[in-house]
Structure 1
């Protein structure tokens, strides 16, 4: 599961972002000032960090510089009321990956986080997914349960990767059709159900379950 950190001194914004991101299936920590944020970021391994510019103890730009000096590779997204070109350049020179000016849309922020994480995952040298005792090597096109290889067809493999990459996120049949079969929402969704059934059987000895939500779709969860 992707792990995120929010460093924001405004409690209302912090609570709203934490709720929205948790609803998307992310594990989310939060900090109310620069000192607490620095401690959490250096102690834990985060995939993305959302940082307010104006913070007690350390500013957002100071935190970004400290994170990059410490070798953190997390996606860093700055929230700021500053919109002058010099301020934006300062943030990017410090090492941010993206920024949003306040007031901002939480939906836009979550969309940007998802886009950055998707690109970071695609560019990963390891190209490896592990959920529970199921491990997937994208480069070797292999799936293992407790280090024991299981045989999947190409479509089953692609379907498993899509579900595990969106762990705890409900995916509709139309989304799955479009992603795996490239249908533009007019294909026969029964093909999804058939492949889910076959995939469930092959994952029977794992601690990953593909649950169905009647009339909605499917979601992969670890048990």
Structure 2
């Protein structure tokens, strides 16, 4: 899973990013509120860790803006203040949890895990499920009704991102940035190619329709037919 940390203290930001990576997450960092908001608006992160006091746009302004735009990404606020008013204001603005600096590494990691579990992270055995579809993030395996899907690395990452954001419209830019990265020179049309690959592999299982095209926007993973397993041999 991918986490964005927004913190103006460069040493603390590096520490947070290192902790997240040691916990097994992909992690990016930003040192200003404006940069943090821009990255958060790309819709490619599973969790945001945001300091309240930032140069330019504050952490609370980031939360307000994202929530006003309809973004539901879980958000952990970091604050050097311990006043009840600040904490209440942050939660009322739309943050999901808070942590007061300085904090213990173990507590920070535990808060991150708890927020990700609450917002659809994998089960303890690594499974992420949606109706007939199961992806295992530990073994990097996929299956429909228990029947294996042979996926490449990029196909797995693309399907996993769709699965974790099921029943939500994802733009081509969001899918491209999450799976291929922000700095790659590959064109966005690679998303359409890999969606075709995924549908071709899902079709023998009678489940290619679960990836829906949203015209002129992108794609969405959504069950639009009764969730009955593929019939067995007569």
- TM-score for the superposition, normalised by structure 1: 0.58
Superimposed CA distance per residue, residues 196-219 of structure 1 (whole angstroms, 9 cap, x where no aligned partner): xxxxxxxxxxxxxxxxxxxxxxxx
Q: In the aligned structure 2, how far is the partner of 1:145 from the partner of 1:52? A: 41
Name 2:85's counterpart in structure 1.
86
Counterpart mapping for 1:64-103 below 5 A? 64-103=63-102
Superimposed CA distance per residue, residues 6-41 of structure 1 (whole angstroms, 9 cap, x where no aligned partner): 000001110001111111111101000100001111
Secondary structure at the aligned position of 1:12 is classed as helix
Superimposed CA distance per residue, residues 138-179 of structure 1 (whole angstroms, 9 cap, x where no aligned partner): xx55542249xxxxxxxxxxxxxxxxxxxxxxxxxxxxxxxx
Q: CA deviation at 1:106?
A: 2.2
Q: Is the 8 A contact 2:77 2:99 kept in 1?
A: yes
Name 1:135's counterpart in structure 2.
142
Name 2:149's counterpart in structure 1.
144
**Structure 2: gaps (5+ residues):** 123-127, 153-234
Quickly say closer, same or farther: Cα 1:24–1:122, change in 2 above 3 A: closer
Quickly say closer, same or farther: Cα 1:36–1:130, change in 2 above 3 A: farther
Secondary structure at the aligned position of 1:90 is classed as helix
Quickly say closer, same or farther: Cα 1:3–1:122, change in 2 above 3 A: closer
Quickly say closer, same or farther: Cα 1:57–1:77, change in 2 above 3 A: same
Secondary structure at the aligned position of 2:67 is classed as helix
Secondary structure at the aligned position of 2:103 is classed as coil
Counterpart mapping for 1:1-223 below 5 A? 2-121=1-120, 126=130, 128-129=134-135, 134-136=141-143, 143-146=148-151
Q: Is the 8 A contact 2:63 2:95 kept in 1?
A: yes
Quickly say closer, same or farther: Cα 1:37–1:136, change in 2 above 3 A: farther
Q: In the aligned structure 2, how far is the partner of 1:49 from the partner of 1:129? A: 24
Name 1:155's counterpart in structure 2.
none
Secondary structure at the aligned position of 2:142 is classed as strand
- TM-score for the superposition, normalised by structure 2: 0.55
Quickly say closer, same or farther: Cα 1:134–1:63, change in 2 above 3 A: same
Name 1:198's counterpart in structure 2.
none
Secondary structure at the aligned position of 2:54 is classed as coil
Quickly say closer, same or farther: Cα 1:110–1:65, change in 2 above 3 A: same
Secondary structure at the aligned position of 2:21 is classed as helix
Secondary structure at the aligned position of 1:43 is classed as coil
Q: Supply the RMSD in Å over aligned alpha carbons.
A: 2.6
